[in-house]
Amino acid sequence: MVKFICRAFGLAILIPVLSISSAAQAGVCTAQDGASVEVRLIDPAPRVVTSSSLKQINSKAKAHGLLKRGNLVLGLTQSEVETSMNIRYRGFNQGGRICLNVYRVEARFGHSRLNIQMPREYARGSCQYKTVLKHEMEHVRVNREGVRKYASTLKRELEKALARFNPRQVANMKTGQAQAQRILKKVVKSVTTRFHKEIDAQHALIDKPGGPYDASGACRSW
């Protein structure tokens, strides 16, 4: 059995606002240079931890609702997903209108932690150790492939949202920035929700009894 995903969704918004410029022509806010979006992928290699006993690992699994009645958890993959975002704005006056343009977004997406908990009772190189590690590495693969896929998705979705937002006529700069933050936060939440839904389904297949990664009968003795 295997996963414990701590979903850390903290949106740190940096607002080093504003450069104000004037434009002579009247009319709606005219297009500025396109926004630059950078999504930094956080994708560390997994760390194998052998400090916990089998009993302790099962207690952790039970605390997070991963232990089914009558089952024994042989290992645990723990991941913590980090999402953060900095937004930079530029304001300008155009024909008496206050206009806002988001000109740069810097985001981070990926694993701040990716650990495999192996029971200390299983000696390295033993059948038990190799069988459990193989199973856990499938969970790691799902996690890592997932963050790589959705880091690209996040960049694409942020770019689409900014193309629709920029430039925006606003009542004042403060409310304009709040509008931009709400829209971009909504994008991040949507992408992370899709990410978790997809990888949760894949984890369930890995843990399915009788599946290709079921450890039952793999070793003579546990």
What is the predicted pLDDT for the residue at 74? 87
What is the predicted pLDDT for the residue at 23? 40
What is the predicted pLDDT for the residue at 4? 27
Residue 26 lies in a domain: yes
Contact residues for 163 (Cβ-Cβ < 8 A; gap 6+): 34, 35
Residue 215 lies in a domain: no
> In this predicted model, which residue has the larger pLDDT, 222 or 62?
62
Give the pLDDT band of residue 9 (cuts 50, 70, 90).
very low
Residue 214 lies in a domain: no
What is the predicted pLDDT for the residue at 72? 77
pLDDT digits (tens, 9 = 90+) for 28-84: 788 778 899 999 999 999 999 999 999 999 988 887 776 665 577 889 999 999 999
Average pLDDT, the chain: 85
Given a cut of 50, is residue 20 above it in pLDDT?
no
Residue 45 lies in a domain: yes
Give the pLDDT band of residue 10 (cuts 50, 70, 90).
very low
What is the predicted pLDDT for the residue at 70? 55
**Taking Cα atoms as reference points, which of 10, 175, 5 lies closest to residue 107?**
10
Residue 222 lies in a domain: no
Task: Give 65-81 as a DSSP string.
Answer: T---TT-----EEEEEE
Given a cut of 70, is residue 11 above it in pLDDT?
no
CB atoms within 10 A of CB 169: 12
What is the predicted pLDDT for the residue at 221? 73
Whether 111 and 80 have beta carbons less than 8 Å apart is answered as yes
Residue 53: domain span: 3-206
Number of domains composing the chain: 1
Residue 217 lies in a domain: no
Whether 21 and 101 have beta carbons less than 8 Å apart is answered as no
Q: Where are the beta strands (DSSP E) in 24-150?
A: 36-42, 47-49, 76-94, 97-117
